[in-house]
Amino acid sequence: MRSLTILLLALAVLLPTAAPDADAGTKAKDRALTLQLKKQRLTKVQFKETSLKDVVKWLRVATSKNIIIKRAPLAKAGVDWQDITYTVALEKVSVWTFMEEVIAKPHDMAVQVKGNIVFFTSKADSYGKPLTRMYAISHITWTKVDFIGPEINLKPSGFTGDEYEPEVIVEDDPLSTGDAVAELLKEILVPKLWEENDGWNIRATKRYLVIRAPKAVHAHVPRTLSKIAAMK
C-alpha cells in the first residue's frame, strides 16, 4: 500500500499542470479596449481632403490611444491607403463608430484591436492567423437513390413476381462531391476574402474538408455545414 502511495505521488509530480490561458487574457484586454473606444466620444470631428495618415495622427492625440496603419496587409489587399482622403464634419460621435464606419469600411479596411494598440488593416488580416482543421462531410455527400418499394398485397405460396428493379441514382444533386460542398461553404462564409487571401484554402474529399482559415471563420463552419446538410 505504501509503495502504491509513493507511486501516485511521483506521478502527480511528473504530470504537467494546467498552464494559464494566455489567449483568454489577451482577448479580455482586446475587449476592454474596444469597449473603451465605443464609450469614448469625439466632441467635434472636421476634416477636408485630409489624408488617412493625418487623420490617424489626429486620432492618436484626441483619444490618447496607440493607433497604427498596417501598411503591408493593406498593400497586399490592394488598398491604396496613401491616396485615401476624408472630408467629414461630425459631432459627439463615438471613437469606434468614427473609425469603423467613416474611416475603415468605405475603403475596404477593418479596425483591429490587439492589446493596447488599434490597427487599421485589411479585412483578411483582421481575422487573425489561419489555422488548419478537419471536418467530416460524408453526411452531406452521400448519394441519393430512388428505389421501388415492396408491394403490400398478399401473394399465394410459390408466387414469383416481376424481376428486381435496381436502385436509381438521383440526378442533379449538387452536393455529391467534396469540392461542391467546399465551394458552397466559401460562398456562404466571407466569399471575397477567400479569393484575396492565399493563406485561406479548403482541400476536399468525399468524406472530409481540410480548412485553413482564421479561428473566427472556423467558429462558423460547423453551423454552416449543418445548414448545408439540411438541404439534402
Residue 17 confidence class, pLDDT cut points 50, 70, 90: very low
For the ranges 2-6, 64-68, 75-79, 220-224, the lowest mean pLDDT is seen at 2-6
Greater confidence (7 vs 70) lies with 70
Contact between 132 and 210 (Cβ < 8 Å): yes
What does the pLDDT average to over 77-106?
95
DSSP letters along 176-230, please? SSHHHHHHHHHHHS-HHHHHH-TT-EEEE-SSEEEEEEEHHHHTTHHHHHHHHHT
Pick the CATH number of 25-123 from 3.30.70.100, 1.10.10.10, 3.55.50.30, 1.10.3720.10: 3.55.50.30
Q: Is residue 69's pLDDT more than 60?
A: yes
- State pLDDT tens for residues 122-158: 998 998 889 999 999 999 998 877 666 666 666 666 6
- State pLDDT tens for residues 198-215: 789 999 999 999 999 999
What percent of the chain is predicted at pLDDT more than 90?
Answer: 61
Domain boundary assignment for the chain: 25-123, 130-147+167-229
DSSP, collapsed to helix, strand or coil, labels residue 92 as strand
Query: Is the pTM for the entire model greater than 0.75?
Result: no
CA distance 158 to 9: 75
Element (H, E) at 110: strand 109-114
Specify the pLDDT at position 28. 84
Dihedral of CA atoms 40, 44, 50, 54 in degrees, nearest 10, equals -40
Specify the pLDDT at position 20. 47
Q: Is residue 219's pLDDT more than 50?
A: yes
For the ranges 105-114, 149-158, 215-224, the lowest mean pLDDT is seen at 149-158
Cβ-in-10-Å burial (0-12, 13-18, 19+) of 79 comes to buried
Specify the pLDDT at position 16. 41
Q: Is residue 4's pLDDT more than 60?
A: no
Beta partners for 121?
110
Greater confidence (229 vs 196) lies with 229
